[in-house]
């Protein structure tokens, strides 16, 4: 019974709730709009279109005013720049009118400059908000002002260029005048040189029937060539001393062996002994025509004086222009090459050759070529002395050579102290004046007719003044 009651209650409850849902659906359907009532379907996206804003028909709007203001500012700036350029051109004209001074041009340039300054002042007043010129009725005032400003600026540039051209033309005229003056000076100098050259030619020209070769030769020419030869000899002696020192030689002992008993004022003066050895060996035989060759007397006896002088001068000129190293390589049997070989054997002792170039028994100049720079210096020294010898035999009479022995009293007429010292020229011993003595001759002297070229000697310092005082 209870079961039947529960089943009936459940059935009634389901029916009750089903009726309520149907009533709600009916009410919702009644409230929803009918499809197509206002042309919009349910669930469709709606786009709303708005009309464009109407353009402002008034031409005197704010935007138009701003555009005109910008155009006016551009025109004002252009006018200011053009006026500044015009003022610059006027100022350049004013400067140009002062050098040289032109009163009319200066006054015109001054007036133009003042006018442009007034224009700049007016533009400044307008820029600060002052009253400006009213615009033209047709609206083209801004464009016209801009074009006028450009025209004024171009005119100012033209005036500036004109002033620069005038200044450059004036400078060019000044340069032309200076060049013309220099041409006149050059012509005057050329005329003076021509006159001096004529006088020199007349002075050097030999007298009628005189000696043309002798007119070109003088003691000064020989002395100049001698100094060049001695400079090369000094370089060779220094190089040889350095090579000997590197080979372990004692230069002081070598100097003592060459000139025993000579007292040197300084320890380094022993190099003069080596220089003396070099110079005396190289100048040995200088007074012979073949410079030490065996056939001197026979050949010289059969040569006329004029022929001998001309040949010697010709050989001097040719050898002065030749390269000695190239001559040695191309003509190893020539007279100069034989001279170099003889002097090498005379100068380089076998002991020196053995210590410098190894154990050599040939005793010839090519052995020295392994020394490199020393060989080149030797050839250069031999070439300079050979050239001097050729020049010496072009004189009439031929240049003579002399040297002094050790112990000879020093004479300022025939000798020159190779050491530039002061005070050691004479000393007093027991009230007597004692002249210094010669230790050895370093460079021989020469005689050219009545002219004497002093020989250079090293004085023996064995008796100094202080030593004499100590002995007293």
**Dist CA 284 CA 444 (whole Å):** 10
Integer Rg of the chain from CA: 58
- Domain map (residue ranges) of the chain: 73-129+144-179
Residues in the chain, pLDDT under 70: 1-72, 129-143, 145-146, 203-216, 292-303, 351, 355-373, 421-434, 462-472
3-state secondary structure of 207: coil
Q: Which two structure tokens, joined as six digits, stand for 303?
A: 């040569």
pTM summary value: 0.52
**Dist CA 28 CA 438 (whole Å):** 155
Q: Which two structure tokens, joined as six digits, stand for 163?
A: 């002033």
**Dist CA 257 CA 97 (whole Å):** 90
Within 8 A by CB and 6+ apart from 62, the residues are none
**Dist CA 346 CA 11 (whole Å):** 161
Question: Do the Cβ atoms of 435 and 426 come closer than 8 Å?
Answer: yes
Question: Do the Cβ atoms of 368 and 357 come closer than 8 Å?
Answer: yes
Question: Do the Cβ atoms of 457 and 417 come closer than 8 Å?
Answer: yes
Q: Quick one: which of 402, 419, 421, 424 has its CA closest to 458?
A: 419
Neighbours of 399 (CB within 10 A): 23
Q: Quick one: which of 108, 119, 112 has its CA closest to 148?
A: 119
Q: DSSP secondary-structure letter at 437?
A: E
Q: Quick one: which of 405, 404, 366, 388 has its CA closest to 283?
A: 388
Neighbours of 95 (CB within 10 A): 13
Q: Quick one: which of 328, 320, 226, 243 has its CA closest to 279?
A: 226
Maximum Cα–Cα distance for the chain, whole Å? 191
Q: Quick one: which of 349, 351, 446, 352 has its CA closest to 397?
A: 446
- Looking up tokens 């260029």 gives 161
User: What pLDDT is attached to residue 297?
Assistant: 45
User: What pLDDT is attached to residue 82?
Assistant: 79
Question: Do the Cβ atoms of 292 and 284 come closer than 8 Å?
Answer: yes
Question: Do the Cβ atoms of 457 and 440 come closer than 8 Å?
Answer: yes
165 exposure class (CB count in 10 Å sphere: 0-12, 13-18, 19+): exposed
User: What pLDDT is attached to residue 80?
Assistant: 78
User: What pLDDT is attached to residue 175?
Assistant: 94
Q: Which two structure tokens, joined as six digits, stand for 152?
A: 């004024």
User: What pLDDT is attached to residue 388?
Assistant: 93
Order the strands of the 437-443 sheet from edge to edge. 415-417, 455-460, 437-443
User: What pLDDT is attached to residue 28?
Assistant: 54
């Amino acid at each position: 019974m209870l079961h039947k009651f529960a089943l009936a209650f459940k059935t009634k409850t389901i029916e009750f709730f089903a009726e309520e849902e149907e009533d709600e659906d009916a009410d919702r359907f009644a409230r929803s709009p009918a499809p197509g009532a206002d042309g919009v379907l349910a669930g469709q996206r709606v786009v709303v279109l708005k009309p464009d804003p109407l353009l402002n028909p008034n031409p005197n709007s704010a935007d138009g005013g701003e555009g005109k203001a910008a155009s006016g500012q551009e025109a004002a700036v252009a006018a200011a720049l053009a006026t500044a350029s015009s003022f610059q051109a006027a100022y350049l004209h004013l400067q140009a009118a002062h050098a040289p001074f032109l009163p009319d041009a200066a006054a015109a340039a001054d007036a133009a400059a003042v006018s442009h300054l007034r224009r700049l002042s007016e533009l400044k007043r307008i820029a600060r908000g002052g009253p400006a010129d009213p615009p033209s009725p047709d609206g083209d005032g801004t464009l016209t002002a801009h074009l006028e400003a450009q025209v004024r600026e171009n005119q100012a540039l033209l005036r500036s260029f004109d002033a620069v051209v005038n200044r450059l033309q004036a400078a060019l005229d000044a340069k032309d005048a200076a060049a013309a003056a220099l041409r006149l000076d050059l012509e005057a100098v050329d005329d003076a040189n021509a006159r001096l050259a004529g006088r020199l030619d007349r002075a050097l020209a030999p007298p009628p029937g005189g000696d043309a070769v002798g007119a070109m030769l003088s003691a000064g020419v020989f002395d100049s060539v001698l100094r060049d030869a001695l400079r090369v000899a000094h370089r060779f002696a220094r190089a040889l001393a350095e090579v000997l020192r590197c080979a372990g030689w004692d230069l002081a002992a070598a100097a003592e062996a060459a000139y025993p008993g000579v007292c040197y004022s300084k320890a380094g003066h022993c190099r003069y002994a080596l220089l003396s050895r070099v110079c005396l060996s190289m100048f040995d035989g200088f007074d012979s025509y073949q410079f030490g060759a065996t056939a001197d007397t026979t050949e010289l006896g059969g040569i006329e004086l004029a022929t001998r002088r001309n040949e010697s001068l010709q050989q001097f000129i040719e050898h002065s222009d030749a390269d000695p190293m190239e001559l040695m390589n191309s003509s190893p049997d020539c007279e100069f090459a034989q001279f170099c070989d003889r002097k090498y054997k005379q100068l380089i002792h076998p002991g020196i050759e053995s210590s410098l170039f190894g154990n050599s028994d040939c005793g010839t100049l090519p052995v020295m070529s392994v020394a490199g720079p020393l060989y080149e210096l030797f050839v250069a020294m031999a070439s300079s002395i050979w050239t001097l010898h050729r020049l010496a035999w072009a004189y009439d009479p031929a240049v003579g050579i002399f040297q002094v022995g050790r112990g000879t009293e020093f004479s300022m007429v025939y000798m020159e102290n190779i050491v530039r010292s002061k005070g050691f020229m004479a000393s007093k011993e027991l009230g007597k004046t004692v002249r210094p003595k010669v230790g050895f001759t370093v460079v021989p002297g020469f005689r050219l007719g009545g002219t004497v070229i002093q020989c250079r000697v090293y004085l023996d310092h064995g008796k100094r003044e202080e030593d004499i005082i100590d002995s007293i």
